[in-house]
Structure 1
Amino acid sequence: MTTSTTTLASHVWQLSGSWKKQALLVVLGSLFIAACAQVTIYLPLVPVTLQTFAVLTIGAAFGMRLGAATVVLYLIQGAIGLPVFAEFRSGIPVLLGPTGGYLIGFVLAAAVVGWFAERGYDRRVLTMFGVMMLGAAVLYIPGLLWLGQMFTGFDKVLELGLYPFLWGDMLKAALAAVAFPAAWSFFSKR
């Protein structure tokens, strides 16, 4: 893999040195995460949403710093009362609720996926699939620790906070694994 710091967004938008374009991407990305958070399948404690897909693809498209900054902005929007979290919820109680650890994990996951994307791992199907699954695993660490410690106990945390999401994570990873190499191929020809 390459050691360049080119991401799909910087390749398409020529972001280098343009803080205005970067700021616009961060705002648009946070709105994309908010929209995907509203695609929800209700489960006890932690719903299934497209939020994780949005976070991981933002990380891959924007890179480590801009991807993490986008997620931080999203969390700030929710914390100050904008209805951006799942089910149009907002506020500090959401961050301290059952999904709080996952929300914090989103920042780490976007950064990790972004780091790998900056090094070209988003340009091949198998490596992109692996990076997306790694990103999902990273966001589960604080998510499961918080959920288990504060809400379910560690004896039930995998049953309620991990197992219901694995098939969806694999599907989302497969979608990104196909989409990103295709996008790179398309935009590289232009």
Structure 2
Amino acid sequence: MEFVKSFKQTKLIKYLFIALLGSILLAVSSKIKIPFYPVPMTMQTFVVLFIGVAFGWKLGLATISLYLFEGILGLPVFSGTPEKGIGIVYFTGPTMGYLVGFIIAVYLAGKFKYDENLFKTFFKLSFATSFIYLFGMLWLGNLIGWDKPIFKLGAQPFLLAELLKILIATLAIKQIKKLRKIV
């Protein structure tokens, strides 16, 4: 009985460590801006998909929740922090919907089954990513008003870069899935 308890504690510590590493990876991905037209691109959405596929939906949700919690507490993990504010004030700003969308995206990316069909994989990853933009635009519309061009402001500038990130994840799906065996 003591062995089972020790094994469960070891497994919990392993999962906490992996979630912490994932949240750090996501924080780093939010800070690295890649020049892209018309707006710079970060690799956050790619890392959200990566975490979902590599960690599975349960550990993926824990990882994204930890990341959001770190940001709400005031750690400068979000893109634009600390320059544009920190904590709950930043979280409830214009990007909150996108950040909340990470939860749905990681869940779907972790829940889907992936096979050799790259077209289906691309579709599944695109579907998961679409919730980041859906929640983002819904929040943005409520925040700045529906009379503004929400799609043009909140999604259109990012779509080309997003398709590129989804394509990279699609082409690397076999390698990413291998990590799930380790986790």
Question: 3-state SS of the aligned residue for 1:121?
Answer: coil
Written as runs of structure 1 = structure 2, the 5 A alignment for 1:146-165 is 146-153=139-146, 155-165=148-158
- Higher deviation after alignment, 32-41 or 170-179: 32-41
1:62 paired residue number: 55
The 1:67–1:144 alpha-carbon spacing in structure 2 relative to 1, beyond 3 Å, is same
1:10 paired residue number: none
The 1:123–1:73 alpha-carbon spacing in structure 2 relative to 1, beyond 3 Å, is farther
Letter in 2 for 1:28: L
Question: 3-state SS of the aligned residue for 1:87?
Answer: coil
The 1:20–1:150 alpha-carbon spacing in structure 2 relative to 1, beyond 3 Å, is same
1:166 paired residue number: 159
1:139 paired residue number: 132
Question: Within 2, Cα distance between the matches of 1:74 and 1:184?
Answer: 22
2:74 paired residue number: 81
Question: Within 2, Cα distance between the matches of 1:150 and 1:60?
Answer: 32
Question: Within 2, Cα distance between the matches of 1:20 and 1:62?
Answer: 15
| Structure 1 stretches of at least 4 aligned residues deviating more than 6 Å after TM superposition | 185-188
2:109 paired residue number: 113
Normalised by the length of structure 2, the TM-score is: 0.81
Question: 3-state SS of the aligned residue for 1:76?
Answer: helix
Structure showing greater relative contact order (alpha-carbon pairs closer than 8 Å, 6 or more residues apart): 2
Letter in 1 for 2:109: V
Normalised by the length of structure 1, the TM-score is: 0.78
- How many residue pairs were aligned? 168
The answer for unaligned runs of 5 or more in structure 1 is 1-16
1:19 paired residue number: 12
Question: Within 2, Cα distance between the matches of 1:42 and 1:150?
Answer: 27
